[in-house]
Amino acid sequence: MPRSGDTNQGESRSKNRAKANPAPGLFVNYQAALDFLNSRVNFEQIHSKKITQESFKLDRMHALVKALGDPHLAVPVVHIAGSKGKGSTCAMLESCLRSSGYTTGLFTSPHLTDERQRVRINGSMVDKDLFGIALSQCKDAAVSIAKEHGQATYFELLTAMAFVVFAQEAVDIVILETGLGGRLDCTNVANPVVVGLTSIHLEHTDVLGNTLEKIATEKAGIMKPKATAISVPQPDQVIEVFRTKSKEVDCNLVVLGQDTLYSCRFQSATTRGPHPKVCVGQGEDCFEHMSVPLLGEHQGANCGLALAIILELRNHDFDLPEQQIIAGLQHTPRQGRLEKINGRPKVYIDGAHTPESIKETLKAVAQQVSFDSMVVIFGCSSDKQSGAMLKELKARADKIIFTKASSNPRAMDPIKLSKQYAERFDRSCESYTSPAQAIKAAGMSLGSDDLLLILGSFYLAGEVKSLFEAKAASPA
């Protein structure tokens, strides 16, 4: 298996390829590429009640990648699905593989501040030239199949573009995160070596179903013959669905804590303070007492899954020494997962947008971040469980300010959120129409040892991060 220790190699190869291979139908510039992409149907910006399973056509994605020469089959793939923890698992796994010397391709969603954050080589966004060239190839392929299959969507084009980039740049392995569900998600054209299944919860019920079993069935749809699927610990009814599906498609299923040893303990250390440590595997082929790099006890299972996938990849001739894995975990980027974006006062952003994830995020903050008082800026999409999320916020936050991301057409009116919160819990709160206004208001009550936490959606987290980056880049 080829290896590369140069983390900048993917970027330099991208620039050389962009200069050497001008493609027919090339966009005039990067903005033109983005304009084309954003002109396509984007289900991420449509209310879930307006989306059905009939909205997704996997046959179109199959036709699209075929027209592109099947780039999705050129590189070994690890495919990750689940309701919670997909991005965290992908981030830890990618960092470990890169630390071991492999050139990695990572496809995740959504992005925080730049579309190119969804398509990464060796941890770095693809450059704008390569983005535009690959997207132009996908545009031409999409035009060629449109008469028979209809117009390709925003996410289909991005996914196809990622496959093209990873194949052209000859990465060693691709870590592929599903978008919505699994069975009908356009990433499911891939033929993975390993499948990872994160925690299953009730989410996107209008599309995926209103029971854990129905949602688990959709997620299990990424299992493929002869692959190995690995799941975090799950409720019994979810595991039953997974085992049934694995037998149907002849996919080997390994459940952490059932089919292989797994444990997670919250421990304290001099250098890091309290944090989870996990043990995965058994016999000589195992990882013991590995420190979880991301904040929160809930990240233990995600880390365990990433390590179990690494153990499985060793069976496929990947050389993954333990010391490199430890180093990779330590350098896992946070990217909107309790990511610290300011020092004094402390400012953290998080993309948590379900009641369960809000609860776990607030618990992680209480356990692993020191502060005097906590101000929360919150905004969510109108099709999320706002009432249940507000209940979690009420239990932990000293002050709440509501706002909305300007880039999210599904964003809930912050005035409605504040009214709902005040009437339900008889608590005072504030609301502002823009994140910039909310941050300014929060600053009026923040001391140097206080914490400002922004959460509720990746749209909001990304917009706030952009504001802080712009401020840091501006002259004093």
Residue 62 near residue 189, CB atoms below 8 Å:
yes
pLDDT tens, 285-320? 899 999 999 998 999 999 999 999 999 999 999 999
CA 9, 11, 17, 22: dihedral to nearest 10 degrees?
A: 180
Residue 50: pLDDT band with limits 50, 70, 90? low
pLDDT value at residue 48:
62
Residue 325 has pLDDT above 80, yes or no: yes
pLDDT tens digits along 268-291: 766 677 789 999 998 888 999 999
Give the pLDDT confidence score for residue 25 in this predicted structure. 75
Q: Which of 58-62, 124-128, 263-267 has the lowest mean pLDDT?
A: 263-267
Mean pLDDT of 120-129: 96
11 pLDDT more than 80:
no
- Whole-number pLDDT of residue 472: 86
pLDDT band at 53 (very low <50, low <70, confident <90, very high): low
β-partners of residue 177 are 80
Second CATH level (architecture) for the domain 9-330: 3-Layer(aba) Sandwich (3.40)
- For 396-409, write each residue's pLDDT tens digit: 999 999 999 998 88
Q: pLDDT of 28-39, one tens digit each? A: 999 999 999 999
Q: Lowest-confidence range among 129-138, 198-207, 440-449? A: 198-207
Place of tokens 């039953």: 240
Instruction: Pick the range with the lowest mean pLDDT from 49-58, 269-278, 465-474.
Output: 49-58
Q: How far is CA 190 from CA 125, 294, 471, in A?
A: 22, 28, 41
pLDDT tens digits along 217-276: 999 999 999 999 999 999 999 999 999 999 999 999 999 999 999 999 987 766 677 789
Instruction: For helices 435-443 and 458-473, give the axis angle rounded to 10 degrees.
Output: 70
The pTM for the full model equals 0.90
Rounded mean pLDDT, 135-142: 97
Residue 473 or 475, more confident: 473
Q: Which CATH class is domain 339-473?
A: alpha beta
Mean pLDDT, the chain, whole residue set: 90
Question: Could you tell me the residue ranges of all domains in the chain?
Answer: 9-330, 339-473
Distances, alpha carbon 65 to alpha carbons 3, 7, 167, 266, 382, in Å: 26, 28, 12, 44, 34
DSSP 212-280: HHHHHHHHGGG--TT-EEEE----HHHHHHHHHHHHHHT-EEEEBTTTB-EEEEEEEETTTEEEEEEEE
Q: pLDDT at position 208, please?
A: 83
pLDDT of residue 446: 94
Give 157-211 pLDDT, tens digit per residue: 999 999 999 999 999 999 999 998 899 999 999 999 999 999 998 887 677 888 9
pLDDT of residue 49: 62
- pLDDT (average), residues 21-31: 73
